[in-house]
Structure formats: C-alpha cells, structure tokens
Amino acid sequence: MAFADLDGLTLKNVEQDLFRNIVSLRQGQDLFDDLSDHPEDWRSAINLELAFKPPFYESEQPVIDRPFEDAAHFSAIQFPFDHIGQSRFSAGKFGVWYGSELLETTVYETVYHWQNGLLADAGFQNINDVKIERRVYWVHCEAALVNLLPMAKTWPQLTANDYGDCQFLGNKLHRQGYPGVWTSSARYIGTNAAVFTPKVLSKPRDYCYLTYHRVNGRVNVYRDPDTVWFSI
C-alpha cells in the first residue's frame, strides 16, 4: 500500500482526555502588578479590563486573581490554530494540535523538540545548564480520527525525522475534511493525536506542572520542583 493511499484506512472513534504539554511558568503572575504596588489598583485595572471585553470573556463569577476564564482554552487548545507553524503533519498552511494518551509520551516528544528546535534554533544546542518550565493540560477530544496505527510498519515515514511525507499526508487529509489522525509517537511508546480543527477539542483542565533541566548531557524531568521524576 503506497504511502498516503487512503484506501483501506479506518477511523478511530476517540472520546477521551488527552495530555497537552506546553511551555508555561509554574507560578502565575498578576497581569497588572507592574503598573502599581497597590493591590487595589490591580483590582481596578482588572475591572476596567472586564468592562471592555466582549460577553464571551465574562463569567458569572469572575476570579479576581485571574479573570480571563477562557485563558485555558486559548493556551491548551486554540494557540496552534492561531499561530500556525510547520510540524509533522503540516507544512505551515494550517494549524495542528498535538496531544498524547500518556503523560510520559508528551515529555519525550517535547524534550526532543525543545532540544532540537528551540535551543538549536537559538544556538544553545551545546549549553550545559538550562531549564524550561511546562504546563500539562487534560483536553477532551471527541472525533473520528484517521487511524494510522496499523500502518506503523508499512509506512516508516510516519515516525521519520524528515516530515515531508507526513506533511503531504496531513495536507491531503485536511483538504478532504478529516479532523485529524491517530498515530504512533516518534519519540516514545504511546499514541498521539494530531488534530486539524479545534471544534473537536474541549474541557481543558490543569493536570500538572513540569520542569526540564538539561545538565551534563541529560534532561532531568521534575514534577515536584525538588525531586527528579526521571531522566532522558
């Protein structure tokens, strides 16, 4: 079966929570604390912000410390569709959201892209002592995704470092209206969803925070800031 031939492929009915691992600080910031040293001024600024936001942004019980109740949706779901970039299944013409069945899978995937993408692009690929903080969400996915798991051995391109073939496949599926694919991780055991539309994603919830610390050729992963969870 030739690569990207859709005949014989099946759909995977996905109705479950997936892990979404993004760059984020462990501790939140007050958005207006740089304007004044007085908390009452922060509250006034928050109230002004709320007054000029459209109804979609407002809740019946706005939280004073972080009034933007839709922030989780934008961070955990919408961001890759608003900030389109190249990835395994997109050449940069449409956004793709990636989530995993296993938390560990997201760690291996994001450590790889941190080291070979962000750090390498900045010329820091050889730096010894560097950290990054992450935030992991649970996001509910409800979609019939094209199931690529049975093709893992037949189509080794699905996990290759060269994304060209996968981008061709992703463009073909996106153009034909499929919501995404269900596929093997290229970096670890486990399964990833590559989703082409935010319409099938909902209910973002905090799961945990992580810290990656690269030192002496290894990346230590922390859930508790003081305890190494595992190393890569």
pLDDT band of 35, cuts 50, 70, 90: low
Token digits for 33? Answer: 């604390």
Q: Is 185 left (phi over 0), alpha (psi -120 to 50) or beta?
A: beta
Whole-prediction pTM value? 0.81
pLDDT band of 87, cuts 50, 70, 90: very high
**Residue 54 scores a pLDDT above 80:** no
Q: What secondary structure letter does DSSP report for 188? A: S
Predicted confidence at residue 167, as pLDDT, reads 99
Nearest CA to 191 out of 22, 15, 18, 3 is that of 18
Predicted confidence at residue 61, as pLDDT, reads 45
pLDDT top residue among 196 and 37: 196
Q: Give the Cβ contact number of residue 216 at 10 Å.
A: 7
pLDDT digits (tens, 9 = 90+) for 131-143: 999 999 999 999 9
The position carrying tokens 């002592």 is 129
Name the most confidently modeled range: 26-35, 36-45, 61-70, 93-102.
93-102
CA torsion, ordered 56, 95, 23, 212, to nearest 10 deg: 150
Q: Give the Cβ contact number of residue 35 at 10 Å.
A: 12
* Dist CA 203 CA 218 (whole Å): 34
Q: What b/e readout covers 182-191, taking b as 16+ CB neighbours within 10 angstroms?
A: bbbbbbbebb
**Residue 31 scores a pLDDT above 80:** no
Predicted confidence at residue 34, as pLDDT, reads 55
What percentage of residues in the chain have a pLDDT greater than 70?
A: 81
Q: What secondary structure letter does DSSP report for 66? A: S
Predicted confidence at residue 56, as pLDDT, reads 41
Average pLDDT taken over every residue of the chain: 87
CA 165, 109, 187, 182 dihedral sign is: negative
Beta bridge partners of 22: 135
Q: Are 146 and 182 in contact (CB under 8 A)?
A: yes
**Residue 55 scores a pLDDT above 50:** no
Predicted confidence at residue 66, as pLDDT, reads 46
